[in-house]
Structure 1
Amino acid sequence: MTDAGQELEPIDTSTPHPARMYNWYLGGKDWYPADREAGEQVKRFFPAVAELAQANRRFMHRASRMLAEQGVRQFLDIGTGIPEEPNLHQVVQRVSPNSKVVYTDYDPIVLRHAEALLRSTPEGRTDYIQADVREPQKILEAARDILNFEEPIALSMVALLHFVSDEFKPYELVRELLEPLPHGSYLVLSHVTGDFDPEDWERIVEIYRQKGTPAQVRSREEFADFFTGLCLLEPGVDVVTNWHLPPEQQQETQQVPLYVGVAQKQ
């Protein structure tokens, strides 16, 4: 969990980082020239990368709000990234002020911003775990200090798994994280795909890999495999702009190369 006395790791500003690149896509301020340079390389192959990032962010808001409205009061968010309001806890605590949210990320820059993630309502609670998704047992052990594993938990891994290549066994990681969660819990995922433009996305993946990030886009079928054994909520696995889009956003008719889905553990 967060520790006010924890020594902060130095941030390498000379090498781009996916969280800071994502912040640049969103129009944020927490990036460095190396992040912008890499982001601009991505943008040359996919000019709508900012729109993709924004659509992904809005999906997180919609999915979290929907689950809170259905009575979920506990959320475990892995791959949190640099805070951008409204954060997940702000979305769900507007529905139910007593909601508990545990954030997880391995990037030291997120730890520097963790204070913004910890401004919970008096009735609820938020906390932060400094850990890598490839350390599932460390995450689960720390989360047990905050969350009640006898009640449903929403496991959110939004825009994360395309940064976990097959060599790190992402399907096994998801199963290991889900295994101790009680029945009635949920899995919330989004994932970039190369289905609609495979050549350009191969180039984009190579940009990330050259910068040290093990990126990998996946097909619809490969993405759907993350939900094996779970009950998908309607409309199932779909592109982000087809998933419970509110009326004010229905003009977004372009096919964004981002698959999303929410499923329940029965």
Structure 2
Amino acid sequence: MNDRPSWVPSDVDVEIPSSARIYDYLLGGAHNFSADRTVGEKMLRAMPNATRIAGANRSFLRRAVLYMLEQGITQFLDLGSGIPTVGNVHEVAQGANPDAKVAYVDYDEVAVAHSELILEGNENATVVKADFTEPNTVLSAPPVRRLLDFDKPIGLLMVGVFHFVPDEKQPHEILATYRNALPDTGALALSHLTADYAPEGMAGLAEAMRKSKDPMYLRGHDEVVSLFAGWELIEPGVVPAPGWRPERAGEPMEPKDIYAGVGRKV
């Protein structure tokens, strides 16, 4: 087990790839194992721009958090947060406002273990090991309740996670439960992979993930828009991630393979 760092929980099977660690690999992180890298390489063969898609998703996360901070939101619930590589939510949020609070939620043991390490001593951030598709468990988790004030604005972050949720798990009902728990001043940032632009390549991406812990379910534009039911989409609506409020005019609007949007609770 030379591929196992000392901080990885002993019950983690490093031979089973996970979406959190594959994403970390595509972002250039170091918290992944050979099984994750193998799937990552398969994804890159199917979609050579997979690293750019991962980067575009991460950049959207940053812009969405900064937008929410501008709207007076200083609390964040990051669902399916993954491994907190460079550009993580507390780094972005607390860099702009040291008092910002962040609760991370993930069911991947490695993601949680590494989060606990880097959050040690950070009183305004916590991590919970839970499946975000079980909202009542997440919302009642003591660390979440201790850190976040549900009478004040909360930013709900579902960035790059709902393409791992099959229709059988009723994604709209999951979102509705979270929405109903937030105050009226809450906001949602969501991104989702799509096969609208490169169907063959994205089919190969989904095939690479088929035997992982997190098989992939791609959705089209209208389906992603429907996930914002009960939220008022802010301009420019649901668009390819690079086109959501780019920081500089004239930036290339590629890749288009992941939709992104932000909504206010209505």
Instruction: List alignment gaps of at least 5 residues for structure 2.
Output: 1-7
Quote the Cα distance in structure 2 between the aligned partners of 1:152 and 1:257.
Answer: 30
Give 2:18's aligned amino acid: H
**What TM-score does the superposition give when structure 2 sets the normalisation length?**
0.91
Quote the Cα distance in structure 2 between the aligned partners of 1:194 and 1:82.
Answer: 25
Structure 1 segment 1-150 matched on structure 2, within 5 A: 8=9, 10-114=11-115, 115-118=117-120, 120=122, 125-142=124-141, 143-150=144-151
Distance 1:55 1:119, change over 3 A: farther
Q: Greater CA deviation, 98-107 or 139-148?
A: 139-148
| Kept in 2: contact 1:82–1:110 (CA 8 A) | yes
Correspondence for 2:194 = 193
Correspondence for 1:4 = none
Correspondence for 1:253 = 253
The CA deviation at 1:42 is: 1.0
CA RMSD of aligned residues (A): 1.7
Give 2:234's aligned amino acid: L
| Kept in 1: contact 2:231–2:264 (CA 8 A) | yes
The CA deviation at 1:9 is: 5.3
| Kept in 1: contact 2:56–2:255 (CA 8 A) | no
Quote the Cα distance in structure 2 between the aligned partners of 1:117 and 1:193.
Answer: 33
**What TM-score does the superposition give when structure 1 sets the normalisation length?**
0.91
| Kept in 2: contact 1:186–1:263 (CA 8 A) | yes
Quote the Cα distance in structure 2 between the aligned partners of 1:262 and 1:156.
Answer: 9
Percent sequence identity is 37
Quote the Cα distance in structure 1 between the aligned partners of 2:158 and 2:120.
Answer: 19
| Kept in 1: contact 2:53–2:255 (CA 8 A) | no
| Kept in 2: contact 1:230–1:264 (CA 8 A) | yes
Structure 2 residue 163 is the aligned partner of structure 1 residue 166: no
Q: Greater CA deviation, 209-218 or 150-159?
A: 209-218
The CA deviation at 1:180 is: 1.3
For 2:125, what is the secondary structure of its paired residue? Answer: strand
